[in-house]
Homo-oligomer: A and B are copies of this chain.
Amino acid sequence: MQLAMVGLGRMGANIVRRLMRDGHECIVYDVNPDAVATLEGEGAVGAGDFADLAAKMTAPRTVWLMIPAGLTGRVVEEVAAVLEPGDIIIDGGNSNYRDDVRRAAALKERGIHYVDVGTSGGVFGLERGFCLMVGGPDEAFAHIEPVLQTISPGTGDIPRTHGRSGEVAPEEQGYLHCGPSGAGHFVKMVHNGIEYGVMAAIAEGLNILDNADAGLRETTHSAEVAPLEEPEFYQFDIDTPKVTELWRRGSVISSWLLDLAAAALQANPTLEGLAGRVSDSGEGRWTVKAAVDVGVPAPVLAASLFGRFASRGEDHFANQVLSAMRMQFGGHQELPAGDVLEAGGAKADSGGS
């Protein structure tokens, strides 16, 4: 079928390539003319602006936006201005599903269908295919299904789930109509929330392994930290790059994210040079807020999000408050220098902590 792609960044361009490979006709647009030219060279039809793009298509038009979430609102407006009733806009970016709900309602009044497609797969999607979580009206979903079939990974070599039989369902091919407008990005949001939790679980575990040698390290005994109580049980110098590689084979926690951890540690075994300031891109936040709204506990997802905040120093004032409070009771000083205490010395603890 025919599809226009707006936004030819890595993901947009790769989706276009995947579509053309499978015989779909692609009209492409980007603010960067070079990006358009590149894909023209590979067989796409370039458009100079949105009006040109619309003119080059036959109704009902399907326009896929693959642009940063912050720009989506404006671009949806501009694209809708050149479309007609019955046409379809697809937002394949990382929008907040709430914006989908609002945009779909506004466009519906003008007869334009709005479909949100949460897209997972990273840079590997060109080969692997993208996992597609789709929200929108049935009619529009049915119209774009051929495109979704091409972009998604298909059944691949993943074993069929026990108990499934007969015709292969869409979800087994890697795309799913999750519900009305917003449902696609909602499911994608939760997917990313889970991703935060899985990543944190792996990172925390590796941190424990990395400190399994605590009993071997010479420590100036300090009052800052409670002393290690049983050093004889922490005498292991674990090779975390090897362990992550090991766990990829046959272990219960084998996963694509573990593959990434193994690759990252293979590339940089000590992770030297990384400041460990971990970014977050919105979905983790929205997931926690959704859990709070509907009243279900999400302690793991929240802890993984808060850990990212703390990694960027956003716990600093709270920690200063704690240190300041400790100085008030018992005269605990922050970072006391040298505290080899003797019986009856002036520093006997005051009972606070």
Contacts and interface: CB of A to CB of B under 8 A. Distances in A.
A31 B128 CA distance: 50
Given A226-B281, A318-B204, A344-B35, A171 B245 contact: yes
Contacts of A195: 252-253, 352-353
A248 B164 CA distance: 14
19 contacts: A121-B351, A125-B350, A161-B266, A186-B212, A190-B209, A191-B205, A201-B301, A203-B319, A203-B325, A204-B300, A206-B317, A207-B296, A207-B318, A271-B324, A277-B335, A279-B335, A296-B318, A297-B307, A308-B322
A272 to B, nearest CB: 9
A222 to B, nearest CB: 9
A23 interface: no
B164 A266 contact: yes
A73 to B, nearest CB: 12
Contact of A325 (B162, B264, B319, B351): B264
A322 B203 CA distance: 6
Contact of A332 (B31, B279, B323): B279
Given A8-B344, A298-B306, A351 B119 contact: yes
Indicate the member of A101, A319, A351 with the most B CB atoms within 10 Å.
Answer: A351
Copies of this chain, complex-wide, total 4
Given A224-B312, A344-B6, A214 B349 contact: no
Given A208-B296, A238-B183, A341-B70, A247 B301 contact: no
Interface stretch (A9-17, A106-114, A139-147): A9-17
Contacts of A281: 223, 226, 349, 353
Contact of A71 (B153, B300, B331, B341): B341
B279 A295 contact: no
Interface string A326-342: 11111110110000011
A115 interface: no
A128 B225 CA distance: 29
A53 B154 CA distance: 52
B128 A295 contact: no
Contacts of A154: 249
Interface stretch (A55-63, A80-88, A172-180): A172-180
Contacts of A91: none
Contacts of A161: 245, 248, 259, 262-263, 266
Contact of A173 (B207, B226, B249, B291): B249
B303 A300 contact: yes
